[in-house]
A and B are shown apart, each in its own frame.
Chain A
Amino acid sequence: MIEMLITIAPFVGGALTLMILSYVYKESVFFTFAEHTFIGIYAGYIAVLGLRTIIWSGVLSLVEGDFTRIIPLVLGTLLLTRYTSKKYKPLSLWPVALLIGVGMALTVRGAMSTQIITQIIATLNPLVTGNVTQSLTNLLFLVMVASTITYFTFTREHKGNYGRVAYIGRISVLAALGSQYGNTVMYRLTLLLGRLSYLLTPPTYYTIPFAILLIAIAVVRDYRKRSINNTVE
Chain B
Amino acid sequence: MQTKQQKSILSKVGRINNKFVYLALVIILCGPLISPLGLPLLLGEETQFVYDYIDQLPEGSLIVISMDFSSNHIEIILQARVFLQHVLDRPIKFIMPSFEVEGNMMTLQIFNYLDVGNNEYGIDYVMIPYIPGGDVAIAAFAKDVRGIVSTDYYGTSLDDLPIMNEFQSMDDIDFWFVFSGPSAGGGGIEPTIKQIKAPYDTPLACGLTTVQVPGVYPYFKSGLIIGLLAGQRGAAEYELINKTPGEAVKQTDSLSLGHLYVISLVVLGNISYFYEKSKGVKR
Contact = CB atoms under 8 A, between A and B. Distances in A.
Nearest to A102: B136
B113 to A, nearest CB: 12
Given A111-B194, A196-B33, A183 B214 contact: yes
Contacts of A193: 29, 33, 74, 232, 251, 254-255, 258
Interface string B1-39: 000000000000000001100100110011001100000
A186 interface: yes
Contacts of A24: 18-19, 22
B129 to A, nearest CB: 7
Contacts of A46: 101
B278 interface: no
B231 interface: yes
A106 B197 CA distance: 13
B130 interface: yes
Interface stretch (B58-66, B89-97, B147-155): B147-155
A122 B218 contact: yes
A197 B262 contact: no
A192 interface: yes
A129 interface: no
Contacts, number: 134
B193 interface: yes
A121 interface: yes
B214 A114 contact: no
A186 B255 contact: yes
Which secondary structure dominates where chain B touches chain A?
helix
A46 B19 CA distance: 35
**Which size class do B's interface residues fall under?**
35 or more
B210 interface: yes
Contacts of A118: 222-224
A227 interface: no
Contacts of A25: 19
Nearest to B155: A56
Contacts of B197: 110, 114
A102 B136 CA distance: 8
A136 B139 CA distance: 40
Contacts of B149: 56-57
A110 B247 contact: no
B194 A106 contact: yes
Interface in A165-208: 176, 179-180, 183-187, 189-197, 200
Interface in A43-74: 45-46, 49-50, 52-53, 56-57, 60-61, 64
Contact of B139 (A106, A180, A187): A106
B97 to A, nearest CB: 13
Contacts of A86: none
A107 B74 contact: no
B95 to A, nearest CB: 18
A16 B213 CA distance: 30
Interface in B167-198: 191, 193-195, 197-198
A39 to B, nearest CB: 13
B209 interface: yes
A57 B148 contact: yes
22 contacts: A24-B22, A46-B101, A56-B150, A56-B155, A57-B150, A64-B150, A106-B194, A106-B195, A110-B193, A113-B198, A114-B193, A114-B224, A122-B222, A176-B214, A190-B75, A190-B231, A190-B232, A191-B72, A192-B26, A193-B232, A196-B29, A197-B247
* Top-8 shortest CB links A-B: A110-B194, A194-B74, A122-B222, A110-B198, A187-B211, A187-B210, A189-B258, A186-B210
Interface of B: 18-19, 22, 25-26, 29-30, 33-34, 72, 74-75, 77, 101-102, 105, 129-132, 134-136, 139, 148-151, 155, 191, 193-195, 197-199, 209-211, 213-215, 218-219, 221-224, 231-232, 247, 250-251, 254-255, 258-259, 262
